[in-house]
Amino acid sequence: MAQGFLQIGLTLCILITITPFFGKYIARVFLGERTLFDSVLNPIERIIYILGGVRWKQDMTCWQYIRAVLGSNFLMGVVVYLIFKYQGYLPLNPMNFQAPSWDLALHTTISFLTNTDQQHYIPETTLSYFSQTAALGFLMFTSAATGLAVGIAFIRGLTGRPLGNFYVDITRAITRILLPISFVGAIALIISGIPQTLLAPEIVTTLEGSTQYIARGPVASFEMIKLLGENGGGFFAANSAHPFENPNGASNLIEMIAMLSIPAALIYTYGLFAKNIKQAWLLWWMVCVIFLILVGITAIGEYQGNPLVNATLGFEQPNLEGKEIRFGSIMTAFWAVATTATMTGAVNGMHDSLMSTGGFSTLLNMFLQIIWGGQGTGTAYLFIYLIITVFLTGLMVGRTPEFLRRKIEKREIVLASVVLLIHPIAVLIPSAITLYFPQTLAGITNPGFHGISQVVYEYTSASANNGSGFEGLADGTLWWNLSTIPSLLLGRYVPIIAMLLLADSMAHKQTVPESPGTLRTDTLLFTSVTAGVILILGVLTFFPVLALGPIAEGFKIAGGS
């Protein structure tokens, strides 16, 4: 146990160290300031703008930015869907895989397009190398860059700047952040033992004399953008629990840092845009404290193990069901909380096998969506809660609420409410419909309270653009492929539209001078109130689901039944 917590401490120390440097670099990239690679990248980016017909020096209006996001995503989705449907005729298909069913192809396309990467299929027996790299790998870069661009545009608006140009933002996100780090990271993963090859699966003869196909492929490059871009979709069905995706402690550390680095750094980036580093660090530590509490709850639960199993064995041992022994229960718990806190969705153990405390923590992360948050848009969720907190505290003291010296009025609160309310709508309504037909639709493999968690987790994962799952659920069906699509789309694009409208509204407001009655948002008191508002709103909205799922399951296990 001590070794596991030591590894967690090492990961957090690295994260704290790199946050200001990475956050400053991201700010310089999107503020248009000089960076180290300008001499090489500026000419390349200008060629991209010329070929794409992009007016790179011209800022977009809010609706131009929104149309650019939606239009580009639609075109990318069509191209990827066609790649899946004509997979059998395309190159790099050594196993001659044919096209998946239309519903699976549609779900997979929208899932990766929305940066969710929810997988209702076995990758190594369904998709060719071309589909994995040219389709999914492509969307892993562009969906992550889309989220990062929107997050930066939102921060620009909050701090009184124009929203910018989407095509410039998405290009810079790829060329200056995602691509170079993924290149270096992929090399590091190759060194750690992850394969990178286009050779067909290895055919071997087992000790019993039967034939076995050992799947492989261009895994290292796929793996790095999977974690760095908060994507989470695995090259193999076992995801980062597979030894070819995550073979040892070194690769586990690299992937963990990649997963956490951008969400953590973006909070610091906001501080530079707002010229208030103090507030950025207060928010950073607020998120970190909540994160560590959930890690502690989950890790202790896994270390104590299942009391029913321990009673049968006659001695206590950690819960090792669904775990890779090379990582152990503590690091698996840490990964489970981190992957749902960052909206990544990659797994190095099976979440369906977590104790009820782990189910509670992972679900709560996805309900809140701000404990580090996703790629760009997750950081924006954090500032939505800040605006709500400013509004509530302003009502308490009888003063018009202000944020960054701009008044918060009806329009901003309506848009902030849309962002927060669309998530429970996209989760609870389809969950209720599915649970009403447990035999014909749900595909529950564990009856009782855990079965409720399985269903709710799947829709929560879709709406939160996370992609992980309680994989005991039989989700490879027409119902699950189609019913999760509305949650995927609503959870991604409605908040993006509302956030951009809110940011544009804030950008056009006149600043008001500070006065003795101005509520400062860079104090420990205000940050503590914000944490309380986040937990109260998040827990109250989803408490019935938590009570019927992991909380009830925990009481049942503790009661010995």
Average model confidence (pLDDT) for the chain? Answer: 92
Task: Name the pTM for this structure.
Answer: 0.95
Cα dihedral across residues 126, 130, 133, 137: positive or negative: negative
Planar angle of CA 450, 290, 386, nearest 5 degrees: 110
pLDDT band at 513 (very low <50, low <70, confident <90, very high): confident
Q: Which residues of 522-532 are buried (b: 16+ CB within 10 A; e: fewer)?
A: beeebbebbbe
Secondary structure (3-state) at 214: strand
Minimal CA–CA distance to 377: which of 91, 126, 169? 169
pLDDT tens digits for range 284-294? 999 999 999 99
Sign of CA dihedral 43, 49, 50, 51: positive
CA separation for the pair 93, 445 (Å, rounded): 34
Q: What is the pLDDT of residues 29-58, one digit of tens each?
A: 999 898 888 889 999 999 999 988 888 889
Phi, psi of 242 (to 5 degrees): -75, 135
Read off the pLDDT of residues 342-390 as tens digits, 9 standing for 90 and up. 999 999 999 999 999 999 999 999 999 988 987 777 788 899 999 999 9
- What's the rounded Cα separation, in Å, for the pair 403 and 530? 13
Q: In sequence order, what DSSP letters do the residues of 138-164 get, joined into one string?
A: HHHHHHHHHHHHHHHHHHHHHTT----
Strand, coil or helix: 63: helix
Query: CB under 8 Å to 200, separation ≥6 — which residues?
Result: 94, 95
Look at residue 561 in the predicted model and tell me its pLDDT: 63
Band (pLDDT 50/70/90 cuts) for residue 7 is: confident
Total structural domains in the chain?
1
What residues make up the domain containing 234?
Answer: 2-558
Q: Which helix (H) or strand (E) holds 211?
A: strand 211-214
pLDDT on residue 2 = 67
pLDDT at 479 over 70: yes
Whether the predicted pLDDT of 514 surpasses 80: no
Mean pLDDT of 259-264: 95
Which pLDDT score, from 0 to 100, does residue 406 have? Answer: 87
Mean pLDDT of the region 108-120: 96
* Identity of the residue numbered 220: A
* pLDDT tier at 471, thresholds 50, 70, 90: confident
